[in-house]
Amino acid sequence: MRNVTRTTLCATSGLALALSISVPAYAQDNEEQLASGQDGNTIVVTGLRRDSELQDAPVAITAFGPQAIEDARILKPADFVNLTPNVNLVETQNAGNAFVIIRGITQARNSEPSVATVVDGVLQVNPAQFNQALYDIEQIEVLKGPQGALYGRNAIGGAIVVTTREPGDTLEANVTAGIDNGFGYFLRGGVSGPIGDNGGFRLSGSWQDTDGYIYNPYLGENADPVENLSLRGRLLFDLTDNFELDLRASMDQLRTQGFYFNIVGDVNDTSLPVRVNNAGIDNRNIYNVAAKLTYQADGFTVTSITSYDTVDEIITGDAFDFLPTNEAFCALPSDPCFSGSTDLNQSQFLDVEAFSQELRFESPANQDLFWMFGGYLISTDRFISTGNMLDLDQGVFPVYREPTTNPSNPQYSFLSDTQDNFAWSVFANLGYQFTDAFRVDGSLRYDHDHRKNTTETPDSWLGYINYIASLFGAPQSAQGDVRTRNFSAWQPKVTLTYTPTDQFTLYGGYSRGFRSGGFNQTGVGVVAQENGIVGVQDIFEAETADTFELGFKSQLAGNMLTLNGAAYTTLSKNSYFFVFLYANSTQNLGNVPKTRISGLELEATLRPHPDVTFNAAWGLTDSKIKEFADPTSIGNEAPLISRTTLNLGAQYTPQLFGNSVDGINALFRVDYRRTGRTWWDVPNSTVRDPIHLVNARAGVEFDNIGIYGFASNLFNEKYNAEFSPGGFVFKARPRVFGVEATARF
């Protein structure tokens, strides 16, 4: 049985810098750990675009190997995020809206992501792709701090690098099946084998079907059923001694529900059940094909990565105030309550297509001088429509590219636009190992993003928007209106690494991250101002984050204890926040001109015996708004940021009977996560109390068979996963438990 170890961050202190620590490493099997004498930290990470042993990598990074992924039952992004200090995931409204907050760099509805997500070398092009099933995964790496110099725009908070399992040279397979209290069942697995003498294949998939876990007493059913089918295939060929071709295709089809909000005055109020009268739908489809071609010569390597992605998602459900029609409050101007309706429902449709290409040249590995340079381009076409319909108790019907003419669900409002984006970048990395103990790395990247937004809303549906705009003297909108804007930035990164012994590494440096701005609805700025909302304009500006960081990694007590630490301070300019404007029914992003974020992370892993692992990690994120149009908000915490995170965990993997080959082994694992106070808006009008989550897993393994029991949120902590200005709260998932069996062939 392989064991989990995590890199531990030790405290550094200083008044000028608040501290932040590097994250745990989950490593290889026990035999490798004991042979290496490095407590499992021989795991090799690739997130810095060059292979490095985890303890030598000069970055705050968490790496989960294949056994750690299995032991911790990592099946979705929230699972590894909750094992990573100073990183949070906010799940809300629909599957495509899952916000990653990493070291205080936040994300909001309709915004660019806060972290670059790379799967098998391919950068995900849309944040709606992030929250999907994880299966047949070889390794997950979470790099914290701006990584824009390496991964370009949107790596402003960090990077998440996912590597799927490669095809093997022998025929092998694995399958896992189980049930949970949904009532639901699931199946996942993969098969791999050779193709001739120079190739291999791997096919893997995942299926989940559950009735859900959050009960809606009005409809007499759960509000969150899930049907999710994911498939992936890889082909790997050695075309010649120098050429390797890696082909990848994947799909993810999700069928669930969304918009099951409650309206409350306090984010800590969990007393209300979900009572929407429209179950609605949330159907998302993700498809990707990619080709990676590598040519390796004596003095350099050339890599080409080509990718094509599509994402579409249709979501329908209740609208404000998310109550049955006979209780709903019709809070709209004019008179929408005709035809017997006193309620509204809603629909949102997203359709994204993207093509990307990267070409890079790099030096051979294992030499003192490392260099890499290249370029990247991406073309993205996006369509989005949103609208409200009158709820006549006939159900809610999806609206795609045109307003509905369905008399059972008459259209009340409709907005749509297209966005054509073309971005390109050039980059160069240079590193030199001056001595065995001292290394310097430098990177520089220039990103240019051209964005074109076209209003697709028919003029006949712009009357209400233009009427509201006219009341406030805002610009009028018309179908076919075009707005363009260029966003660009240089993103440098410099890191110094000092390794006086094999057991201690000290690193420090500076890095910048950048993400593009974008477009709100025309006239939003004036409407927001007249409604007393500041910081919201027709265009939201690009954000930059400049970070200084100091960290160390160490192994103590004969490598039984791993202790790592880092400290950072970040100046964020134009960070995002979300606002829903009731006056013209629009979803908008605003900017906070300047925020100072400082942090501390501490982590320790103790392994007193090959079968026993203890880990602890603590993260602190302190944010202060330094500039804002409303002076009363200066000094407040930035929105969506949790002040602290605390992780405690233990794993015991004893051999119960027999020997290491034919015996029966056991797994006992428990993980505790405390997420501290969380602020949700710029005025700091509501603060969520700390939440406490416990996950557990236990089982036995014998003859390539494993049988396990599992539980997430073991003690059924009740909390709201999100609070949105206006009092919208989204319930978090309660306790989920079940059993599963795994077989390997």
Range of the domain at 523: 25-744
pTM (2 d.p.): 0.90
- Residue at 452 is within a domain: yes
| Percent of the chain surpassing pLDDT 90 | 72
**Per-residue model confidence (pLDDT) at position 329:** 66
Q: Which two tokens stand for residue 518?
A: 């974008």
Say how far apart CA 726 and CA 284 lie, in whole Å. 27
Q: Which two tokens stand for residue 343?
A: 């309620």
- Residue at 623 is within a domain: yes
- Residue at 385 is within a domain: yes
- What's the distance, Cα to Cα, between the start and end of the chain in Å? 16
> How does pLDDT run across 262-317, given as a tens digit for each residue?
999 899 999 999 999 999 999 999 999 999 999 999 899 999 999 999 999 999 99
Give whole-number Cα distances, 440 to 57, 340, 364, 495, 508, in Å: 12, 71, 17, 6, 10
Inform me whether the pLDDT recorded for 17 exceeds 70.
Answer: no
- Residue at 8 is within a domain: no
Are residues 521 and 453 in contact, defined by beta-carbon separation less than 8 angstroms?
no
**Per-residue model confidence (pLDDT) at position 475:** 85
**Per-residue model confidence (pLDDT) at position 333:** 47
- CA angle, corner 144, sides to 142 and 148, nearest 5? 105
- Residue at 2 is within a domain: no
For the segment 689-696, the average pLDDT, to the nearest whole number, is: 98
For the segment 85-94, the average pLDDT, to the nearest whole number, is: 90
- Residue at 4 is within a domain: no
Say how far apart CA 569 and CA 36 lie, in whole Å. 35
- Residue at 7 is within a domain: no
Inform me whether the pLDDT recorded for 36 exceeds 70.
Answer: no
> How does pLDDT run across 627-675, given as a tens digit for each residue?
999 999 999 999 999 999 999 999 999 998 876 667 899 999 999 999 9
> How does pLDDT run across 150-187, given as a tens digit for each residue?
999 889 999 999 999 999 889 999 999 999 999 999 99
Are residues 429 and 443 in contact, defined by beta-carbon separation less than 8 angstroms?
yes
For the segment 224-246, the average pLDDT, to the nearest whole number, is: 95
Confidence grade of residue 46 (pLDDT, cut at 50, 70, 90):
confident
Say how far apart CA 127 and CA 38 lie, in whole Å. 37
As for how many domains the chain has, the answer is 1
**Per-residue model confidence (pLDDT) at position 434:** 96
Confidence grade of residue 330 (pLDDT, cut at 50, 70, 90):
low
- Residue at 543 is within a domain: yes
Residue 527, phi-psi category: left (phi > 0), alpha (psi -120 to 50), beta (remainder): alpha
Average model confidence (pLDDT) for the chain?
A: 89
Instruction: Supply the CATH number for residue 642's domain.
Output: 2.40.170.20
Outline where 372-509 has alpha helix (H). Answer: 463-471
Which residues are CB-neighbours of 660 under 8 A, at least 6 positions away? none
Inform me whether the pLDDT recorded for 529 exceeds 90.
Answer: no
Of the candidates 14, 127, 137, the one whose C-alpha atom is nearest the C-alpha of residue 79 is 137
Confidence grade of residue 38 (pLDDT, cut at 50, 70, 90):
very low
Of the candidates 734, 731, 735, the one whose C-alpha atom is nearest the C-alpha of residue 272 is 731
Confidence grade of residue 494 (pLDDT, cut at 50, 70, 90):
very high
